[in-house]
Each structure stands twice: as structure tokens, then as C-alpha cells.
Amino acid sequence: MEPRHILIVEDESNTAEMLTSYFEAQGYEVTTVAWGKKALACARDILPDLVVLDIRLPDIDGYEVCRQLRSHRRTAHVPIIFLTERRERIDRLAGLELGAVDYVTKPFDIQELRLRVRNILRRSGMQPVAHPVTGLPFSVLVDERLSALLERRDWTAIALALDGLDAFADIYGFVARDDVLRAVALLVQRVTEEECGKDPFIGQLDTTKFLLIVPSECAGRISRRLTDRLQETLAFFYPRTDWESGHNRSGDPLPRLSVRLGSLVGTGRHGSVDELRESIMGSLAPIA
């Protein structure tokens, strides 16, 4: 079994060297970087099993690193431990709200950090089967369904992408963002189940992208109804005064949520789940 890979993002050289030596002695593979932008490039390249992330960095802060990791499909579910000198409750909540799984303040007990790392890696070894916000099938369950379709032709996949959620959350908060995700998930489920006589499959390709597997004869009706309903619904996620003025309370232009929709008819010619997934994602286009 290959060793688990930890990415340490720490600009204080003594701390970085100590953590690297300690976790390598524990049998982990360790990569250490000192800059936030380097951490983003490195994480997308090596896909670590865990990121230990300092908040105070020379270029972009750890919060922004975390936000960007969470916004990319490849790194969206990599566990992150924030390592920081900040002890205020608001700082801890900010990190957890962005999706960090733990928050350790300096100076720290290295044995405690080791146990936190071990426990997080044990939990992350278990693939999620349902999305934590919507409860829809996710990850392993979606890949299993896609795998079953590789050689079949009697289906259509409908993909729906909700864009602009990060900018929306920056202004209205992550609770509001999750409310949007749940509302869209319920709308997708309701429309699909009403239009599809046979049991449809409704899941998520990632946090902002939904996947429907339906009989081809009802795919067009579902796509048209989703387009109409979503165009009507997006405005209700904003305070009425913000939506009507086009600006938030600070006077900045309103970050607009938007939707892309696409479909792919089964051909039985896709060689792998990744290839099928890319074809489905490639069908996405802005709704008119």
C-alpha cells in the first residue's frame, strides 16, 4: 500500500522542516511549499490525501487557498487542516465555513496533530456516497451508475451546472449557498420525477453540477421544464432590493447565479467512466 501524501503549506522554515521530518518519520510522503499559489498548483498536480495549511502566507492567505481548492473538482474533497496563530472564534468559524475539517493553533502539540492527521485520513479513506448538503448520490454511487451505462444506448444524461456560487457565498454566506444548493436539488428532483415515468437517477458530479440519467423519450421535456423553472427561480435566492437594484448592500454589482444545461444520448462507445463524465460535462451550455 502506497503511503498517504500530506501537502504542508507553511512559510516559516523551522516549522516546515520540523513537520516534514516528523511526518516522514511516521511513514507519510510529504511535500512542503511556502506560497499559496504554489500550493494550489502542487495540489492539483499531486492530489494530496491531506493539506496542512497555514493561514498567513506571503502571497495569498490560507482562506483563499482553501476557497480555490474547494472550487475545483479534482481538489474539492481533499481534507484541509488550518494551522495558524489566530485564536479568535471568528477566525476558526471562517476556516470551518470554507470547508476545512480541523483548525490547530500555534504553538501546537505535535502528538495531538499526528492523531488529528491520522483520524482524518482514516475517515477520508471511506468514499462518500451522498452529498453532504443535498443528500443526493455522489462520488462512488455516481461512478457506479456511469460504469453501468458504458455499453448501453437506452438512456440520456442531463447535466446541470450552477455557476456563480462562490461569489454568491462571499456576499451572502455559506449557509445561503447551501440553501441554494438544496433548493435546486429539490427542484431538479421534482421536475424529473414528474416528467419521467420510470425511476430516474439523480445525483451530483460535484458540488455544483447535477446529473440525471433518464429514458431518452422524456429527456427533452425535462430539459425544457428545468430551463423554465430555473429562470424563474434564481431571483428568489437574493434579497428583493438587491435583485431589483442589481447591487448588494455595499453598492457592489450583484454576483449573478447562472445555469448551464446539457445532454448526452447513450452511444455505447465510451471506453471509461472518466471519458463518459468528460463527454457529459462537455455538453453543458448556458440556458437561453
Looking at the chain, the whole-number percentage of residues with pLDDT higher than 90 is 48
Question: Cell 462562490 identifies what position?
Answer: 166
- The grid coordinates of residue 56 equal 498567513
Q: What fold does the segment set 140-286 form as a domain?
A: Alpha-Beta Plaits (3.30.70)
pLDDT score recorded for residue 106: 82
pLDDT score recorded for residue 198: 64
CB atoms within 10 A of CB 205: 21
Q: What SS3 class is residue 184?
A: helix
Q: Look at residues 195, 194, 201, 166 and name the one whose alpha carbon lies nearest to residue 180.
A: 166
5-124, which class in CATH? alpha beta
pLDDT score recorded for residue 24: 93
Low-confidence stretches of the chain (pLDDT beneath 70): 1, 73, 86-100, 124-129, 197-198, 288
* DSSP states along 81-144: EEEES---HHHHHHHHHTT-SEEEESS--HHHHHHHHHHHHHHHTS--SB-TTT--BBTHHHHH
218-253 tens-digit pLDDT: 999 999 999 999 999 999 999 999 998 988 888 888
pLDDT score recorded for residue 182: 93
63 in Cβ contact with 41 (< 8 Å): no
DSSP 3-state percent helix, strand, coil across the chain (nearest 5): 45, 20, 30
61-75 tens-digit pLDDT: 888 998 888 887 678
- In the chain, list all ranges with CATH 3.40.50.2300: 5-124
Q: Look at residues 198, 240, 241 and name the one whose alpha carbon lies nearest to residue 219.
A: 198
pLDDT score recorded for residue 163: 95
- In the chain, list all ranges with CATH 3.30.70.270: 140-286
Phi, psi of 211 (to 5 degrees): -130, 130
